[in-house]
Amino acid sequence: MTDLAIRPYRPADLDTLRRMTVDAFDGVTLEQNVESALGLLADHDWRWRKARHLDEDAALHPAGLFVAEAGDRIVGYISTRIDREAGKGRIPNLAVAAELRGRGLGRRLIEHALDYFRTEGLAYAMIETMAQNEIGQHLYPACGFVEVARQVHFARRL
Ligand SMILES: CC(C)(COP(=O)(O)OP(=O)(O)OC[C@H]1O[C@@H](n2cnc3c(N)ncnc32)[C@H](O)[C@@H]1OP(=O)(O)O)[C@@H](O)C(=O)NCCC(=O)NCCS
């Protein structure tokens, strides 16, 4: 992908990023697993809940949200958080348009975020993935991350 650029987030991107998130995370988000187990909750489906993660990314740390663009089309993004005191960078969300996957864009976005963390003087980075996400489990070790824990999530209706 030669005409691809990774640039800082702009507020006008938010609707596109929300849509991309809902498309991309079908099958690989905790929000959907919760809905599969418990059904519809508070009259909102998992897509509504997952899209809000992008609202949070944009509101809490817009300077660490990066957008991949091919021509004038948004084809991916990566979001970050920084805990400066702990020296920690975290990647909460990452997505690439389905038809452009498997060409190294996910890895480029991760490298971009890691460079950003380095520029910010951080000591380490963390990312997590669902056990059902085969691509994440392949990609993150390939980007130098080592597995440090597995977590089990529980949910119940009230
Ligand atoms: C995760 C995601 C961002 C990766 O984007 P991408 O552009 O495809 O990433 P890359 O092309 O850089 O790398 C994908 C790697 O996974 C590998 N891969 C593809 N399908 C795979 C599968 N079913 N099982 C294991 N590995 C797989 C590819 O071969 C490639 O590895 P390689 O570079 O060693 O060949 C993209 O798949 C996506 O948007 N997924 C849906 C949302 C998501 O899961 N986000 C992350 C949540 S933790």
Domains observed in the chain:
4-142 (3.40.630.30)
Say what the pLDDT of residue 126 is.
Answer: 98
Three-state DSSP class for residue 8 = strand
Token output for 131:
């056990």
> How many angstroms is it from 144 CA to the middle of ligand 1?
15
From atom 14 of ligand 1, which residue's Cα is the shortest distance away?
102
pLDDT at 1 over 90: no
- E-strand ranges in the chain read 4-8, 66-70, 73-78, 81-83, 88-91, 94-96, 124-127
- 82-108: per-residue pLDDT in tens? 999 999 999 999 999 999 999 999 999
Q: Is 1 in the pocket of ligand 1 (CB under 6 A)?
A: no
Q: Is 27 in the pocket of ligand 1 (CB under 6 A)?
A: no
Nearest to 90 by CA among 126, 141, 115: 126
How does residue 24 score in pLDDT terms, banded at 50, 70 and 90? Answer: very high
> How many angstroms is it from 58 CA to the middle of ligand 1?
23
DSSP at 11: G
pLDDT at 2 over 70: no
Distance CA 78, CA 69 (A): 12
Q: Tell me the C-alpha to C-alpha distance, in Å, between residue 155 and each of 36, 51, 85, 93, 132.
A: 11, 20, 32, 22, 17
- 102-147: per-residue pLDDT in tens? 999 999 999 999 999 999 999 999 999 999 999 999 999 999 999 9
In the chain, the percentage of residues whose pLDDT exceeds 90 is 98
From atom 20 of ligand 1, which residue's Cα is the shortest distance away?
135
